Chains A and B, each alone.
Chain A
Amino acid sequence: MRQIPARLLLCALLIGCKSKEQSGGGTGGGQGTIVVGEVGSMTGTEATFGVSSDRAIQLASSELNAAGGIRGKQIQIIALDDEGKPEEAATAATRLIASEHVIALLGEVASTRSLFMAPKAQANKVPMVSPSSTNPKVTQVGDYIFRACFIDPFQGYVMAKFVHDNLKLSKAAILKDVRNDYSVGLAQNFTESFVRMGGKVVANESYSNGDVDFKAQLTNIRNAHPEVLYVPGYYTDVGLIARQAREAGITAPMAGGDGWDSEKLYEIGGAALEGSYFSNHYSVDDPSPRITEFVARFKKAYGGQLPDSLAAQAYDAAGMLFDAMKRATELTGPAIRDALAQTKGYKGVTGDITMDQNRNASKPAVVLKVGKGGKYEFQGRIAPEDTATGAPEGSPKKTEGNTAPNPAPGNVPTPTPMPELGATSPAAAAANTGQPQGVPSGEHPKK
């Protein structure tokens, strides 16, 4: 008998929590709002990835809401932090689906974590759009998983092509993060493309995310005398690698992928990175009007901060999802999935996005050079292999001012001036209800 009041109390508490959570979330098909979930690494060694993406998604949704939302309903974004841990990403996805009843998921940035989230989304028939997970495996999880970016083979191909055709170098060394699917994927595809083009990989070394000493690997690499060092890792590791590579006496330029894109890169690596190249999804220096406009609105919303490429992609992922929601026959998971799969020529800030049959975005990549003082210099655009017939579009010389970024004629994805971005109105830019994240605090991903 004694235990009953305690149990009742516990039940009451549980019910209380449950109803509170639901009132905060609402149901996907409900009355007032449409709830979309977001999972990102707001804290941890890749915190800038999550925070940038979150800002862009908040910006996209507030613009959409100011322009009237979708079918008269407002979009509500519920963002959860996964601290950069794959298991946490899976938990966050489950929580968003089960207790917040989200209609769609945005995230994760990193492939490793997207791969943990995707099975949850697939099993519950909740469409998931990853802004920037470039590993091919992500969308192979199932037909509800999409991405707003190109895949690893393409980034590896882009850098191989750039090194071979533009820099005219033929001996490459690779230093990859073996514990990261992204890094392994880029390295593998770089190797395949580079060898096919006639280049040679003279050293293939690896490290594990979180390592701080790379001297042993770099010593082996130095002794192989490469002309370029391909390091498709994330910024914290790359910064340290760059310094130690120079200390070890390696003078060859370094090259990498979009994991380099963070202001922390140069802060840690410093002058050792100057003269290195990386492939990316977009460049703030790209003179195309769509980009300049997006940059202006992002800066206005976040106190002058420049959007990095993750922000641009997250903005496109959100825009693409909202666009599909508008076109969907009804606001259910399967209907939105079908609409997403039919996306064709969506005018994103990072280029025209078309979904291929594997739910991967097909669009061009840019190559940037780390210049003096850490400034990124736009080197050119490289189009997908099957559409581009010849040389990369951009010449290796620096494009400046308002010069068109695509001097080579006849290449496919030429950005045309667009007054509107996707389906949202630029006038909505002023309305910023997003929650700018300050210096993120919380747990650290490594243990």
Chain B
Amino acid sequence: MTELLQHLVNGVSLGAIYALIALGYTMVYGVLKLINFAHGDVFMLGAMVGWYASARWTNEARDPSIAGALAVTLLAMVVCGTVGFVIERAAYRPLRGSPRINSLITAIGVSFFLEYGGQYLFGPNPRAFGVLPHRANFIGGGISVGYVDLVTIGTSIVLMALLQRIVFHTRMGTAMRAVSWNPSVAALMGVNIDLVISFTFVLGSSLAAVAGILYASKYPSVHPLMGLMPGLKAFVAAVLGGIGNVPGAMLGGLLLGLAEQLVSGYTSSSWRDAVAFSILILILLVKPSGLLGRTDAEKV
């Protein structure tokens, strides 16, 4: 019984990270109907900036403090937000009017650019990461819960709530939903589309930075290809929950994390990725709109 509980706890903490990455995916998709495959690599950049800020430029990693961790995270968010802005401006905006497949392929190109550019810039070797102050695990009744895990779960819930608030209770959110509904009509109503889309990208990318920092704190090995797998898994999570739907991303992430942990706990870890991607295939076959996604007719 403790074994099952421990697997569940581990699953939730892994799922919280997937959820955090999936939030950025789902938001960009919600507004632009673009699957931003470079999201996982912006996530990597966030972790990398965190490494530089904590281990190279300062001594934060050796003597971590909460204030330091917040400062590092803020810096990573600013850098990734800027990168997200530049990516949208340089790679996606010129293709906005063209068929969706063009943007999709470009997104893959941007992803490779960041991965291999990262290898050139940072070198391919993994680096050790440490930003959050070290705390002992909470062990009670044979179940151990990591400090980083609690922070991750808390952060994802707070950010999800915040996003939900931005999308449904601010002027910018209203504009985002308007653009999502129909960009040209929104433009006719006086919505500044460029601004809304840039804002979406900056927001999504800075969320990726937070996820990067937390992921690297949990698995302290940072390298340029670290975004690949989590990016794909988060994509599965976003689709599972209903892409474009903020609470859906959270739900999808948690379910995926649980599924992975239970699979590696009770069968073999070799099956884990296979199961994760089978979930993607299954959900696309059975309910393409995702668990919480709404099914609306394709507009022609």
A-B contact pairs, 27 of them (CB 8 A): A45-B126, A47-B124, A178-B269, A208-B269, A212-B219, A213-B14, A213-B219, A214-B269, A215-B10, A216-B7, A216-B10, A216-B260, A217-B265, A217-B269, A219-B3, A220-B3, A223-B2, A240-B220, A247-B137, A247-B144, A264-B125, A264-B126, A264-B128, A267-B128, A268-B220, A440-B124, A441-B123
B interface residues, how many (CB within 8 angstroms): 36
Give CA–CA (A268, B218) in the complex, Å: 12
Binds A, one of B24-32, B85-93, B221-229, B284-292: B221-229
Is B119 located at the chain interface by the 8 A CB criterion? yes
Give CA–CA (A76, B154) in the complex, Å: 59
Instruction: Identify which of B6, B7, B116 gathers the most chain A CB atoms within 10 Å of its CB.
Output: B6
CB-CB < 8 A to B3: which residues of A? 219-220, 223
Is A207 located at the chain interface by the 8 A CB criterion? yes
Q: Which 4 A-B pairs have the closest CB atoms?
A: A216-B265, A216-B264, A215-B10, A212-B219
Is A21 located at the chain interface by the 8 A CB criterion? no
Q: Is the CB of B125 within 8 A of A47?
A: yes
Instruction: Identify which of A215, A217, A239, A442 gathers the most chain B CB atoms within 10 Å of its CB.
Output: A215
Contact of A439 (CB < 8 Å), options: B7, B123, B265: B123
Is B98 located at the chain interface by the 8 A CB criterion? no
Give CA–CA (A264, B222) in the complex, Å: 12
Give CA–CA (A446, B221) in the complex, Å: 14
Q: Is the CB of B221 within 8 A of A443?
A: no
Q: Is the CB of A443 within 8 A of B270?
A: no
Instruction: Identify which of B125, B128, B223 gathers the most chain A CB atoms within 10 Å of its CB.
Output: B125
Give CA–CA (A444, B125) in the complex, Å: 8
Q: Is the CB of A236 within 8 A of B221?
A: yes
Cβ proximity bits B1-13 to A, threshold 8 Å, 1 near / 0 not: 0110011001000
CB-CB < 8 A to B10: which residues of A? 213, 215-216, 219
Q: From residue 423 to 447 of chain A, which have CB atoms closer than 8 A to chain B? A: 439-444, 446
Q: From residue 217 to 276 of chain B, which have CB atoms closer than 8 A to chain A? A: 219-221, 223-225, 229, 260-265, 268-270
CB-CB < 8 A to B144: which residues of A? 247-249
Is A413 located at the chain interface by the 8 A CB criterion? no
Q: Is the CB of B119 within 8 A of A444?
A: yes
Q: Is the CB of A219 within 8 A of B269?
A: no
Is B67 located at the chain interface by the 8 A CB criterion? no
Q: Is the CB of B221 within 8 A of A43?
A: no
A interface residues, how many (CB within 8 angstroms): 40
CB-CB < 8 A to B142: which residues of A? 249
Is A226 located at the chain interface by the 8 A CB criterion? no
* Known A207-B269, A216-B264, A216-B269: A268·B221 in contact at CB below 8 Å: yes
Is B139 located at the chain interface by the 8 A CB criterion? yes
Q: Is the CB of A440 within 8 A of B123?
A: yes
Task: Report the nearest A residue to B263, measured CB to CB.
Answer: A216
Is A243 located at the chain interface by the 8 A CB criterion? yes
A-side interface residues toward B, CB under 8 Å? 43-45, 47-48, 178, 205-208, 210-217, 219-220, 222-223, 236, 239-240, 243, 247-249, 264, 267-268, 270, 439-444, 446
Q: Is the CB of B14 within 8 A of A215?
A: yes
Q: Is the CB of A236 within 8 A of B265?
A: no
Is B146 located at the chain interface by the 8 A CB criterion? yes
Q: Is the CB of B7 within 8 A of A236?
A: no
Interchain nearest-CB distance for A265 vs B (Å): 10
Give CA–CA (A216, B275) in the complex, Å: 15
Instruction: Identify which of B7, B126, B219, B263 gathers the most chain A CB atoms within 10 Å of its CB.
Output: B126
CB-CB < 8 A to B119: which residues of A? 441-444
Give CA–CA (A47, B224) in the complex, Å: 14
Give CA–CA (A240, B126) in the complex, Å: 11
Q: Is the CB of A219 within 8 A of B265?
A: yes
CB-CB < 8 A to B57: which residues of A? none
Contact of B124 (CB < 8 Å), options: A178, A223, A248, A444: A444
B-side interface residues toward A, CB under 8 Å? 2-3, 6-7, 10, 14, 116, 119-120, 123-128, 137, 139, 142, 144, 146, 219-221, 223-225, 229, 260-265, 268-270
Q: Is the CB of A441 within 8 A of B124?
A: yes
Q: Is the CB of B219 within 8 A of A240?
A: yes
Q: Is the CB of B14 within 8 A of A43?
A: no
Interchain nearest-CB distance for B41 vs A (Å): 13
CB-CB < 8 A to A178: which residues of B? 269-270
CB-CB < 8 A to A267: which residues of B? 127-128
Task: Report the nearest B residue to A235, measured CB to CB.
Answer: B126
Q: Is the CB of B124 within 8 A of A219?
A: no
* Known A223-B2, A236-B126: A217·B219 in contact at CB below 8 Å: no
Task: Report the nearest B residue to A239, measured CB to CB.
Answer: B221
Give CA–CA (A215, B139) in the complex, Å: 14
Q: Is the CB of A243 within 8 A of B220?
A: yes
CB-CB < 8 A to A223: which residues of B? 2-3
CB-CB < 8 A to A243: which residues of B? 220
Q: Is the CB of A446 within 8 A of B146?
A: no
Give CA–CA (A422, B125) in the complex, Å: 34
Contact of B125 (CB < 8 Å), options: A205, A208, A220, A440: A440
Task: Report the nearest B residue to A246, measured CB to CB.
Answer: B137
Q: Is the CB of A268 within 8 A of B225?
A: no
Q: Is the CB of B221 within 8 A of A212?
A: yes
Q: Is the CB of B265 within 8 A of A441?
A: no
Instruction: Identify which of A216, A239, A240, A264 gathers the most chain B CB atoms within 10 Å of its CB.
Output: A216
Task: Report the nearest A residue to B222, measured CB to CB.
Answer: A268
Give CA–CA (A441, B117) in the complex, Å: 11
Give CA–CA (A18, B72) in the complex, Å: 52
Give CA–CA (A43, B223) in the complex, Å: 12
Give CA–CA (A441, B268) in the complex, Å: 34
Interchain nearest-CB distance for B15 vs A (Å): 11
Interchain nearest-CB distance for B8 vs A (Å): 10
Q: Is the CB of A443 within 8 A of B269?
A: no
Give CA–CA (A442, B225) in the complex, Å: 12
CB-CB < 8 A to B265: which residues of A? 216-217, 219-220
Q: Is the CB of A444 within 8 A of B223?
A: yes
Give CA–CA (A266, B146) in the complex, Å: 20
Task: Report the nearest A residue to B13, measured CB to CB.
Answer: A215
CB-CB < 8 A to B6: which residues of A? 219, 222, 248
Interchain nearest-CB distance for B7 vs A (Å): 6
